[in-house]
Structure 1
Amino acid sequence: MTEANTATAAASGAAATERFRNRQREETAADTKRIDLLASELIGAVHEIIRRHKVTYAEYDVLKSWLIQVGLDGEWPLFLDVWLEHVVEEVANENRGGSKGTIEGPYYVQGSPELPSEATLPARENESGTPLLFQGQVTNVDGEVQAGAKVEIWHADSDGFYSQFAPGLPEWNLRGTVIADAQGLFKIHTVEPAPYQIPTDGSCGRLITAAGWHAWRPAHLHLKVSAPGHQLVTTQLYFHGGTHVEDDIASAVKPELILSPAPASDGGGNEVTYNFTLDRD
Structure 2
Amino acid sequence: MSTETAATAAGSGRSATETFQKKVREGGAAVDHARVDAIAKDALSALHDVIRKHKPSYAEYDALKAWMIQVGEDGEWPLFLDVFIEHVVEDTVNADRKGATGSIEGPYYVPDAPEFTSEGTLPMREDEAGTPFLFQGTVTDLDGNPLEGALVDFWQADDAGFYSQFAPGLPEWNLRGVCRTGADGTFKIHTIKPAPYMIPHDGATGAFIEAAGWHPWRPAHLHLKVSAPGKQLITSQLYFEGGEYVADDVAQAVKPNLVLHPTPAESGSGEQVTYDFALDPA
What is the TM-score with the length of structure 1 in the denominator?
A: 0.98
Counterpart code for 2:162:
F
CA–CA separation in structure 2 for the residues paired with 1:184 and 1:166: 34
Structure-2 residue corresponding to 1:134: 135
| Correspondence for 1:74 | 75
SS in 2 for 1:89: helix
5+ residue gaps in structure 1? none
CA deviation after TM superposition for structure 1 residue 46, in Å: 1.0
Residue identity in the other structure for 1:102:
S
> Which residue does 2:6 correspond to in 1?
6
Deviation at 1:257, TM superposition (A): 0.3
Q: How far off is 1:113 after superposition?
A: 0.3
- Which residue identity is paired with 1:131? P
Cα deviation, 1:4-30, whole Å, max 9, x if unaligned, reads 000000010001001111111222223
Amino acid at match of 1:148: G
2:235 maps to 234
The answer to whether the aligner puts 1:92 opposite 2:93 as a matched pair is: yes
Letter in 2 for 1:147: E
Return the alpha-carbon distance in structure 1 between the equivalents of residues 279 and 168 of structure 2. 36
Establish whether residue 249 from structure 1 lines up as the match of residue 250 from structure 2. yes
| Partner secondary structure for residue 222 of structure 2 | strand
- What pairs up with 1:1-281 in 2 under 5 angstroms? 3-25=3-25, 26-281=27-282
Q: Distance in 2 between matches of 1:30 and 1:121?
A: 38
C-alpha separation between the residues in 2 aligned to 1:98 and 1:30?
Answer: 30
**Alignment partner of 2:81: what SS?**
helix
Query: What are the superposed Cα offsets for residues 35-90 of structure 1, whole Å, 9 maximum, x if unpaired?
Result: 00001111111111111111110110000100111000000000000000000000
Mapped to 2, the partners of 1:32 and 1:142 lie a distance apart of: 39
1:66 & 1:124 partners in 2: Cα distance?
38
SS of structure 2 residue aligned to 1:222: strand
Mark the runs of 5 or more structure 2 residues left unpaired by the alignment.
Answer: none
Query: Hey, what's the Cα distance between the residues in 2 that align with 1:216 and 1:193?
Result: 14
Q: Deviations over 1:117-140 (max 9, x none)?
A: 110000000211000010000001
Mapped to 2, the partners of 1:149 and 1:48 lie a distance apart of: 47
Q: Deviations over 1:132-176 (max 9, x none)?
A: 010000001121210010000000000000000000100000000
Moved over 2 A (4+): none
* Mapped partners of 1:95, 1:273: distance in 2: 25
In 1, the alpha carbon distance for the partners of 2:173 and 2:104 equals 21
DSSP-derived class of the 2:211 partner: helix
Deviation track 1:155-210 (CA, whole Å, cap 9, x = no partner) reads: 00000000000001000000000000011100110000110000111000001111
**How far apart are the structure 2 equivalents of 1:279 and 1:50?**
42
After superposing the two structures, state which structure 1 stretch, 151-160 or 43-52, moved more: 43-52
Percent sequence identity is: 61
State the distance in 1 between where 2:226 and 2:277 align.
8
Q: SS where residue 207 of structure 2 aligns?
A: helix
Q: Which amino acid aligns with 1:164?
A: Q
In the alignment, the residues of structure 1 paired with residue 272 and residue 244 of structure 2 have an alpha-carbon distance, to the nearest angstrom, of 19
Q: Name the amino acid aligned to 1:231.
A: Q
Q: How many pairs are equivalent?
A: 280
Amino acid of the structure 2 residue aligned with 1:110: P
| More off after superposition, 42-51 vs 98-107 | 42-51
Q: TM-score, normalised by structure 2?
A: 0.98
Tell me by how many angstroms 1:269 deviates: 0.3
* RMSD over equivalenced CA pairs, Å: 0.8
Please give the alpha-carbon distance, in whole angstroms, between the structure 1 residues aligned to 2:145 and 2:35.
Answer: 37
> How many angstroms apart in 1 are the aligned matches of 2:153 and 2:31?
27
